Structures are given as C-alpha cells and as structure tokens.
C-alpha cells in the first residue's frame, strides 16, 4: 500500500535528519503518479534560519529524479501536536500538487490526520495563475 511506503520512507528520512539545535527531527515522503517515492529530512544550520525543511528536501529529491508532480505527501514528526508543513512548504507543495492532493500527517505511532492541500492552503496562488493559455 502506498501509505505504508510513504510512512516507512518518511520515518527513515526522519531518523537521518540533522537537527542538532532544535532536536526536532522531521521526515517527509512524496509519492508521484509514476509510483516513485522521494524522501527528505530537515537539515538545520548554525546560521539560522538557513536550514531546510523535510518537505523541501523531498521536493528537491523528486525534481532531481525527473519527476514533476506530487500525488501524495506524508510528513512525520515527534511530539503530541500535528507537524504540518510550514507556510513556505505549503507553497512549495502547491507548485507540484493539485488542491485535492492528500497531505498526510504522522507521528511515531502512525497516521494522525489527513488534509488536502486546499485545506492547508486555501485560495492559493500557483502555476495556473500565471498561465496565459
């Protein structure tokens, strides 16, 4: 099942996160329409806020692999609260996803919540706004 593959890839990426300052490791995994899974983790930097979010890393890996569309994304983080994509990552996801794209939020125990991109970034500005066709 794609959800299991996303969870495993995100959890594996989370374990490799570089978070020496916050100690808050985040992993993300993307499924593309071709079935590829791309993952990423947060990478902090002493020159805050120069770090990279897990979602941005997963998107970069997806693009570097030659893919261009997010079918679904899963984000995993520890702690009691939901670890949803930050505002900048919501916009990054929008570049490659449709409003109904599933965004799945997980914790160590499994899936905690399901959203769509439209739920998290309503009335968004995206590539279609710049189309002249």
Q: Which residue has the tokens 């990054």?
A: 92
CB 43 within 8 A of CB 106: no
Mean pLDDT of 19-47: 97
Model pLDDT for residues 95-113, shown as the tens digit of each residue: 999 999 999 999 999 999 9
Model pLDDT for residues 43-87, shown as the tens digit of each residue: 999 998 899 999 999 999 999 999 999 999 999 999 999 999 999
What pLDDT does 49 receive?
85
- Residues β-bridged to residue 105: 75, 113
CATH value of 2-124 in 2.40.37.10, 3.40.140.10, 3.40.50.10790, 2.40.50.140? 3.40.140.10
Distance CA 47, CA 69 (A): 31
Indicate if 55 belongs to the active site.
Answer: yes
Among 55, 67, 71, 109, the active-site one is: 55
Asked, as a colleague might, if the bond just before 49 is cis with ω within 30 of 0, I would say: yes
């Amino acid at each position: 099942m794609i959800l299991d593959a996303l969870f495993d890839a995100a959890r594996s990426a989370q374990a490799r996160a570089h978070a020496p300052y916050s100690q808050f490791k985040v992993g993300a995994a993307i499924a593309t329409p071709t079935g590829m899974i791309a993952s990423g983790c947060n990478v902090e930097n002493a020159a805050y806020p120069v770090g990279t979010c897990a979602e941005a890393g997963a998107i970069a890996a997806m693009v570097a692999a030659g893919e261009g569309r997010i079918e679904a994304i899963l984000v995993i983080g520890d702690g009691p609260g939901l670890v949803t994509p930050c505002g900048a990552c919501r916009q990054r996801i929008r570049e490659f996803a449709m409003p109904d794209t599933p965004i799945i939020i997980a914790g160590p125990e499994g899936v905690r919540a399901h959203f769509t991109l439209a739920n998290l970034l309503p009335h968004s500005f995206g590539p279609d706004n710049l189309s002249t066709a």
